Amino acid sequence: MESSLPITVAAINRSTQLKAFDETKTGVKGLVDAGIAEIPSIFRAPPATLTSPKPPSSSEFTIPTIDLKGGGTRRSLVEKIGDAAEKWGFFQVINHGIPMDVLEKKKEGIREFHEQDTQVKKGFYSRDPASKVVYSSNFDLFSSPAANWRDTLGCYTAPDPPRPEDLPAACGEMMIEYSKEVMKLGKLLFELLSEALGLNTSHLKDMDCTNSLLLLGHYYPPCPQPDLTLGLTKHFDNSFLTILLQDHIGGLQVLHDQYWVDVPPVPGALVVNVGDLLQFKSVEHRVLANVAGPRISVACFFSSYLMANPRVYGPIKDILSEQNPPKYRDTTITEYAKFYRSKGFDGTSGLLYLKI
Ligand code: OGA
Ligand code: NI
């Protein structure tokens, strides 16, 4: 069994490095601040995950942008949203009602949190899923094949918003204000999506799709070797719906017809994507590492994810038919989330085991 020895040594070495990195409690930003010129091996992505066949440049490969106050009829808006959710699972919205200065302040707050005094930041570093407010680097650090060039501040803002005194001073107030705005927009989107499915306007809301909101403030530091790692490995979201605010740096890509299609930054726009739990079409997406950053993004997930939730979810009975049979078996979000979290971003879908 001599030949297996080097592999074992490499595995031990990797595990030691992961632990050492985690114990710094300063994330990827800490490595960049220390002036590293080469990325540590734990961040090296398998080369196959870094390839990106470019799409033939045509309007067929442009993700849709939808004007929520475009002046057309409700019916035409419902059709546009339904079409984008079904064909792409991803679209941008403009005139969404969230004021520009709220978006700017939100991004600025997340940047301030990540760039503040290290000692204060360390106080929030945790991997305890029960913590209300968590700052960490790579939620799946110890289970994924490669770590990502990204740090994250996360917090559930609904149904029970944290107490202001538990939130970081740099961005706490903004977290609460921003999530209220996102909740309003989310309610509208779930209404439009319900109508697009031919259901009652409140159908998805009545299924508790808007009960809980998880907010993640991502910070993607500039990377000295952006061709060797990723900001965020390809994945499906563990939500019904995600509303994402990205800054001007770019790097977010969506897998569409085998091509990685850029989601270009549009000032004032928000990116909306369907998650595993809604399955209009849940789409894989990833973020490239950047040299020009930091890149800041704020992802808000409508899902109860890590919270106890006994409700059983399955195919919506009203729209099943012989031509449209169920594709997945019933599950609870708790069951699904446990599986999603334990496997980390390993390139596979969290829904495979639910397929009928
Ligand atoms: C996510 C995500 C994209 C981004 O947090 O699930 O896909 O641009 N984020 O940060
Ligand atoms: Ni995502």
Residue 260: which CATH number?
2.60.120.330
Which residue CA neighbors atom 6 of ligand 1 most closely?
237
pLDDT of residue 350: 79
Distances (CA, A) of 54 to 49, 232, 254, 256, 258: 14, 18, 11, 11, 9
CA of 9 to the centre of ligand 1 (A): 33
CA of 325 to the centre of ligand 1 (A): 31
Task: Map tokens 């704020």 to a residue.
Answer: 298
Ligand nearest, relative to CA of residue 262: 1
Which residue CA neighbors atom 2 of ligand 1 most closely?
299
Taking the CA of residue 350 as centre, how many other CA atoms within 13 Å lie in the half-sphere pointing to its CB? 29
pLDDT of residue 306: 64
pLDDT of residue 6: 63
Any domain includes 232: yes
Any domain includes 3: no
pLDDT of residue 175: 92
Enumerate residues lining ligand 1, CB below 6 A.
Answer: 216, 218, 232, 237, 244, 246, 252, 285, 287, 297, 299
Ligand nearest, relative to CA of residue 150: 1
Any domain includes 31: no
pLDDT of residue 8: 73
DSSP per-residue codes, 219-264 = EE---S-TTS-EEEEEE--SSSEEEEEE-SS--EEEEETTEEEE--
Any domain includes 6: no
Any domain includes 34: no
Question: Which residues of the chain are under the pLDDT cut of 50?
Answer: 1-3
Ligand nearest, relative to CA of residue 252: 1
Any domain includes 274: yes
Residue 159's domain comprises: 63-354
Any domain includes 324: yes
Which residue CA neighbors atom 4 of ligand 1 most closely?
297
Which residue CA neighbors atom 5 of ligand 1 most closely?
299
Q: How many domains does the chain have?
A: 1
Any domain includes 15: no
Task: Map tokens 């599986």 to a residue.
Answer: 339
